Structure 1
Amino acid sequence: MREWEHYEHTADIGIRGYGETLEEAFEAVALALFDVMVNVRKVEPKEVRELEVEAEDLEALLYLFLEELLALHEMDGLVFGNFKVKLEKTEEGYRLRARAYGELLDYVKHEPKEEVKAITYHDMRIEKLSDGRWMVQLVPDL
């Protein structure tokens, strides 16, 4: 089961995702990212965007994944409220294929909050916890 939360971090806000699998943790941290910007519980799955990124390591993969989602938000005016992620190991590192489900931003319906300017590696961690779940976190630039 995936879960997400925000955590205090000096002047910014951190985002953290948990999952039974690494894929679920990536999905959860993407939800946490969009919940910084809007009320994700009010986002309906009216549009689907597919994306694919590849990287040498998991940290770079997470960065590229969230950066792609942020670019879709900025360029197409979309907000997302659900994700389906598939990860695979490749000879060069890792590949992520994802579907993002959402709709066009509606300022009344989605209750905008903060603007995320960029994805960063700041406080980025990807780890398997002692209870067997995965945890993924970082602090985006607001």
Structure 2
Amino acid sequence: MRAWEHYEHTADVGIRGYGESLEEAFEAVALALFDVMVEVRKVESKECREVEVEEEDLEALLYSFLEELLVLHDTEGLVFGDVKVEIEKTKNGYKLRAKACGEVLSEKHEPKEEVKAITYHDMKIEKLPDGRWMAQLVPDI
């Protein structure tokens, strides 16, 4: 089961995603990112976009994945409320394929903060003692 939360940070807000798998943790942190911007539970899956990124390590993979979603938000005005992720280990690192579904931002989504950029600040990706995965970072707001 994927879940997310926001956590207090000195200047901004941190986002953290949990999942039974690494993929679910990535999905949850993506939802946490959009929940900083809008009331994510009000986003309907009217349009879907495919995202594919390859990186040498998991931190770079998470950064590139969230950056792609943010670019779609900035260029097409989309907010996402459902994300499905597949991650595979490759010879050179990792490959992520995702399908993000949502709709164009409107007042019904109760806009909140604007996320300016994805950062590596306080980024962690780890398997927890209970077997779940956790992914977190502090985006630039």
TM-score by length of 2: 0.99
Q: Which runs of 5+ in 1 are unaligned?
A: none
- What is the deviation of 1:31? 0.3
Question: For the residues of structure 2 that align with 1:37 and 1:105, how far apart are their CA atoms?
Answer: 10
Cα offset for 1:51?
Answer: 0.8
Name the SS for the 2:96 alignment partner. strand
Distance 2:85 2:56 in 1: 18
* Letter matched to residue 101 of structure 1: C
C-alpha separation in 1, matches of 2:128 and 2:34: 24
Aligned runs of 1:57-76 on 2, under 5 Å? 57-76=57-76
Q: Which amino acid letter does the alignment assign opposite residue 39 of structure 1?
A: E
Q: Say if 2:53 is the partner of 1:53.
A: yes
Identical pairs, percent: 79
Aligned position for 1:44: 44
Deviation, structure 1 residue 89: 0.3
Instruction: Name the residue aligned to 1:29.
Output: 29
CA distance in 2, matches of 1:136, 1:117: 20
Q: Provide the rounded CA distance (Å) in 1 between the counterparts of 2:54 and 2:7.
A: 28
Cα offset, 1:25, TM superposition: 0.1
Gaps of 5+ in 2: none
Q: Which stretches of structure 1, 4 residues or longer, exceed 3 Å deviation after superposition?
A: none
> Which residue in 1 is equivalent to 2:139?
140
> What are the residue-to-residue correspondences of 1:1-142 with 2, within 5 Å?
1-106=1-106, 108-142=107-141
Give 3-state SS (helix, strand or coil) of 2:88's partner.
Answer: strand
2 CA distance for matches of 1:104 and 1:116?
16
Q: Give the match's secondary structure for 1:64.
A: helix
Give, as a single letter, the amino acid of the residue that structure 2 aligns with 1:131. Answer: D
Q: Secondary structure at the match of 1:109?
A: helix
CA distance, structure 1, for counterparts of residue 4 and residue 17 of structure 2: 4
SS of residue in 1 equivalent to 2:109: coil
Shift of 1:90: 0.4
Q: Aligned-pair distance for 1:11?
A: 1.4
Distance 2:8 2:62 in 1: 21
1:140 counterpart SS class: coil
